[in-house]
Amino acid sequence: MSRRYLMCRPTHFAVDYTINPWMDPTAPVDVERAVAQWTTLYELYLSLGHTVDLIDPVPGLPDMVFAANGATVVDGKVYGAQFRHPERADEGPAYLSWFARNGFDVHAAKNVNEGEGDLLLAGEVILAGTGLRTEHAAHLEAQELFGRPVISLQLVDPRYYHLDTALTVLSHDNIAYYPGAFSPGSQEVLRRLYPDAVVATAEDAAVLGLNAVSDGDRVVLPSAATALAGALASKGFQPVPVDVSELHKAGGGPKCCTLEVRGMTGPERSEEGA
Ligand code: ARG
Domain at 212, CATH number: 3.75.10.10
Would you state the pLDDT for residue 64?
A: 98
Would you state the pLDDT for residue 29?
A: 95
Q: Within a domain: residue 265?
A: no
- Does position 266 have pLDDT exceeding 80, yes or no? no
Q: Within a domain: residue 274?
A: no
Residue 124: partners with Cβ closer than 8 Å, 6 or more residues away? 148, 149, 172
Instruction: List phi, psi (to 5°) of 257.
Output: -80, 0
Q: How many CB atoms lie within 10 A of CB 47?
A: 9
Buried b (16+ CB within 10 A) or exposed e, 54-76: bbebeeebbbbbbbbbbbbbbee
- CA–centroid distance, residue 25 to ligand 1 (Å): 15
User: Which protein residue's CA is at the shortest distance from atom 8 of ligand 1?
Assistant: 256
Q: Within a domain: residue 248?
A: yes
Q: Within a domain: residue 272?
A: no
Q: Within a domain: residue 266?
A: no
Q: Where are the alpha helices (DSSP H) in the chain?
A: 31-47, 91-101, 136-146, 184-193, 202-206, 226-234, 245-248
pTM for the whole structure: 0.95
pLDDT tens string 74-128: 999 999 999 999 999 999 999 999 999 999 999 999 999 999 999 999 999 999 9
Query: What is the β-pairing status of strands 150-154 and 218-222?
Result: unpaired
User: Of the residues 162, 172, 248, 257, which is catalytic?
Assistant: 162
- CA–centroid distance, residue 66 to ligand 1 (Å): 6
262/177 Cα distance (integer angstroms): 23
- CA–centroid distance, residue 251 to ligand 1 (Å): 6
Residue 162: active-site member: yes
Report, as an integer, the average pLDDT of 150-162.
98
pLDDT tens string 56-71: 999 999 999 999 999 9
Residue 256: active-site member: yes
Q: Within a domain: residue 16?
A: yes
- Does position 263 have pLDDT exceeding 60, yes or no? yes
Domain tally for the chain? 1
Would you state the pLDDT for residue 270?
A: 52
- State the virtual CA torsion across 204, 262, 268, 35 in degrees, nearest 10: -10
User: Of the residues 50, 107, 256, 257, which is catalytic?
Assistant: 256
| Any ligand 1 atom below 6 A from CB of 6 | no
Q: Within a domain: residue 269?
A: no
| Any ligand 1 atom below 6 A from CB of 61 | no
pLDDT tens string 204-256: 999 999 999 999 999 999 999 999 999 999 999 999 999 999 999 999 999 99
User: Which protein residue's CA is at the shortest distance from atom 1 of ligand 1?
Assistant: 250
**88 CA: nearest ligand 1 atom:** 12
Mean confidence (pLDDT) of the chain: 95
What is the domain extent for residue 42? 4-260
| Any ligand 1 atom below 6 A from CB of 141 | no
| Any ligand 1 atom below 6 A from CB of 251 | yes
pLDDT tens string 131-146: 999 999 999 999 999 9
Q: Within a domain: residue 188?
A: yes
- CA–centroid distance, residue 266 to ligand 1 (Å): 30
- Does position 271 have pLDDT exceeding 60, yes or no? no
